[in-house]
């Protein structure tokens, strides 16, 4: 297996060192750096192949959300996981909307952190249980009142076969370009499908769609 190149970004050296020590125990993970703020993370990414970044949120010089936005803007091709002590809804939503594929709390067990790196590398959204519960509470009352199996059947009756596949892809954390390559469609066509899905299911954004697809376990057959 190709080694997953990981960058750890946190302003507290003790925490950085602890995370690095844990990741070094896995033979399939290679640490490419350990930095104290978002600006330093961007500098590393520009000069080093990086697959996954573990990014703190509140840091001096440049915070994690700003750094994530900038990395997406410059075309960073890897995945970013927000790893923080803050489970505030505003931070969670801003982090995911900025382009992070995950939001985990620092009290996560060691084995779960390593697993999260693997899964993020493979394009799967990673959310702590506490984070998932907070965000699912933002879904509409109608969605929360229906049992999962009934909600899934309802969605299957609303969306077309192709829309269901696109919806499942969103749940796997795929962007429009990745979906277009997977389904052999133009990005414009995928964008239209995504817009139609949001409208049909009364969803605000991609984060909400991904959470719902994951919660109801939509998969690509």
Domain range 141-215, CATH class: mainly alpha
Query: What are the residue ranges spanned by the domains of the chain?
Result: 4-136, 141-215
> What is the per-residue pLDDT for 140?
46
Beta bridge partners of 30: 5
> What is the per-residue pLDDT for 145?
46
Mean pLDDT over 158-178 rounds to 90
Distances (CA, A) of 120 to 28, 57, 147, 150: 14, 18, 28, 29
Mean pLDDT over 188-202 rounds to 91
> What is the per-residue pLDDT for 136?
61
Distance between CA atoms of residues 141 and 145, nearest Å: 6
DSSP 62: S
Mean pLDDT over 102-128 rounds to 87
Four-way CATH pick for 4-136: 3.30.540.10, 3.40.50.2300, 3.40.50.300, 3.40.50.2000: 3.40.50.2300
Distance between CA atoms of residues 149 and 134, nearest Å: 21
Higher per-residue confidence, 155 vs 207 = 155
Give the count of alpha carbons within 13 A of 93, CB side only: 13
Mean pLDDT over 112-125 rounds to 88
Q: Is 104 helix (H, G, I), strand (E, B) or coil?
A: strand
């Amino acid at each position: 297996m190709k080694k997953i190149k990981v960058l750890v970004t946190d302003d507290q050296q003790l925490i950085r060192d602890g995370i690095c020590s844990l990741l070094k125990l896995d033979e399939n993970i290679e640490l490419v750096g350990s930095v104290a703020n978002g600006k330093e993370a961007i500098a590393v990414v520009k000069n080093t192949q990086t697959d996954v970044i573990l990014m703190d949120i509140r840091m001096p010089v440049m915070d994690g959300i700003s750094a994530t936005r900038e990395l997406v803007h410059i075309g960073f091709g890897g995945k970013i996981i927000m790893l923080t002590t803050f489970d505030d809804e505003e931070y969670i939503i801003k982090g995911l909307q900025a382009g992070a594929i995950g939001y985990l709390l620092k009290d996560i067990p060691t084995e779960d952190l390593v697993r999260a790196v693997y899964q993020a590398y493979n394009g799967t959204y990673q959310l702590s249980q506490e984070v998932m519960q907070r965000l699912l509470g933002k879904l509409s009352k109608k969605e929360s009142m229906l049992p999962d199996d009934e909600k899934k059947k309802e969605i299957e009756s609303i969306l077309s076969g192709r829309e269901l596949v696109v919806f499942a892809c969103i749940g796997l954390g795929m962007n429009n370009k990745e979906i277009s390559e997977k389904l052999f469609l133009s990005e414009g066509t995928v964008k239209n499908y995504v817009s139609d899905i949001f409208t049909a299911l009364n969803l605000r954004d991609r984060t909400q769609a991904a959470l719902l697809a994951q919660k109801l376990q939509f998969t690509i057959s």
